[in-house]
Structure 1
Amino acid sequence: MENSFIAKLKGLAPMAPVEIAALESATASAQSFSARHDLIREGDRPGPVFVVLEGWVCRYKVLPNGTRQVLAYLMPGDACDLHVGLLAEMDHSIQTITPAVVATIEREMMDDLMTRHPGIARAMYVAQLIDEGTMRAWITSMGRRASIERVAHLMCELYLRARNIGLASEPQFTLPLSQLMLADSLGMTPVHLNRVLKELRLSGAMKLERGRLLISDPNRLIQIAGFDENYLHRRLRRAG
């Protein structure tokens, strides 16, 4: 099976065989982690670049009152914290959601890869720009979208991202996120989220149950969300 990180970067920029070989070497020493394992915590000194090869991972922040805000979901092929080494300490934590296989690339090696291989550098910068676009979409949801729009928008995003890496090929796919975790990423209480999910189910747009998302009416879900996939830049990937 192809390395998911390499597959993603190849879709973002042309890669020479020597660059692919360099990435294979850099991610060869991957490690398996159990679910709900903190790869790094807020306040820690920044570590290596984490590369998710299998499983789901999230960024999160815990508020002084103990509540949690999930800031991003990472799927196979995603990397995080390209430039965080410039900071003195982490301002958020990164945790596995499911059992995961994660490779670590030390800062010096990452800098060397990007200096010697322009294809790798371009792909990594494009990936970071897409991550920032996704963050802007989340901020827009939290600030301006109604609750049902916010939930529908996140479901559209997660489905498209999963489909892009081969985790979903049909309107139904495994979504390993509890309602509590979804609520933490949407700025809702679990009770409120449950009401919104029921409303979406009754609308005929989608159904979420037992860890599986079924998009019954994609057009209806897109309409409710006001979803525009532009920020995921899938056209760029297809062009690559």
Structure 2
Amino acid sequence: MSLVLPSSGRRVSCEQCPLRGLPVFRDFSPGELAFVSSFKAGEMTAEAGTTILSEGAHSAHLFTLLSGWAFRFKMLDDGRRQILNYILPGDLVGLQGSVIGEMEHSVEALSPLVLCVFQRDQLDELFRNHPGLGFDVTWLAAREERMLDDHLLSLGRRTALERAAYLLAFLHERAVSVGLNGGRVTIPLTQQHVADTLGLSIVHTNKTLRKLSNKGLIHWQGRSCEVLDAVELARIAGWEGPGESMRPLI
């Protein structure tokens, strides 16, 4: 896996950000928009498999995913990987390193992506002069904690079939909310990604996904999964959905 560094190139202005028009994101006040525009230092592109941030690293930057998919993960010394969560457009990346000073997990691109790059040293100004944006950052951190609570519940108490159904329903709902559906949602992940998320062997994962496919709920396409019936997936998992109508965007 290669590591990429932010560039100073800027192709999408905050004023013309395609995410701002989506109904899931709250709008900025004029002052907030002006600050976020000055906060943005550039953009970074990466191909699938690229390491965006590494566990133990110190970064001078904070990111928002503009387009594409990524995931957070931790590694054990023997090479086993646990995927912690998935990152979709509008999500903050690197907040942990910006606040604590050192990343406790790594971030990898799941698909080709574009990230907006922000200077970490301006984070103090955000909290000091823009309390609304400061609340937004806190809200996003609390939202991440809530998602991790749901993931932990799934790993600890759901069956393999329920875990897989939950994961795919969860990713489907998140993709739809940020306009990644275009009809049916196709999630760009392999069975190994699913196994590393659910804590299952690749053989058990394959059998479990085949059961969902045989029920007509998903269509597995090698390196991606098309969700055909998200409602039934959520029912199997006993998951009631994300429970949010509007969220912040930094």
Are positions 1:33 and 2:51 aligned together? no
The aligned residue for residue 204 of structure 2 is: 192
**Structure-2 change in CA distance of 1:107 and 1:128 (3 Å):** same
The aligned residue for residue 134 of structure 1 is: 147
The alignment's TM-score, normalised by the length of structure 2, stands at 0.83
Distance 1:11 1:216 in 2: 23
**Structure-2 change in CA distance of 1:83 and 1:222 (3 Å):** closer
Q: Given that residues 63 and 92 in structure 2 are in contact (C-alpha distance below 8 angstroms), is that contact kept between their aligned partners in structure 1?
A: yes
Give the deviation of 1:210 after TM superposition: 4.0
1:76 counterpart letter in structure 2: P
The aligned residue for residue 99 of structure 1 is: 112
Distance 2:25 2:178 in 1: 13
1:109-143 CA distance string (max 9 Å, x none): 12212321122122222122111111111111111
Q: Is the helix fraction higher in 1 or 2?
A: 1
- Show structure 1 runs of 5+ residues with no match: none
In structure 1, which of residues 175, 184, 199 is the aligned counterpart of residue 187 of structure 2? 175
Aligned-pair identity (%)? 30
1:152-188 CA distance string (max 9 Å, x none): 0011110110000000143x22211111112111111
- C-alpha RMSD of matched pairs (Å): 2.4
Distance 1:77 1:12 in 2: 8
**Structure-2 change in CA distance of 1:218 and 1:58 (3 Å):** closer
In structure 2, which of residues 32, 39, 45 is the aligned counterpart of residue 19 of structure 1? 32
**Structure-2 change in CA distance of 1:217 and 1:75 (3 Å):** closer
- Show structure 2 runs of 5+ residues with no match: 1-11
The aligned residue for residue 235 of structure 1 is: 245
Distance 2:80 2:211 in 1: 26
Give the deviation of 1:107 after TM superposition: 2.1
The aligned residue for residue 9 of structure 2 is: none
Distance 2:245 2:114 in 1: 28
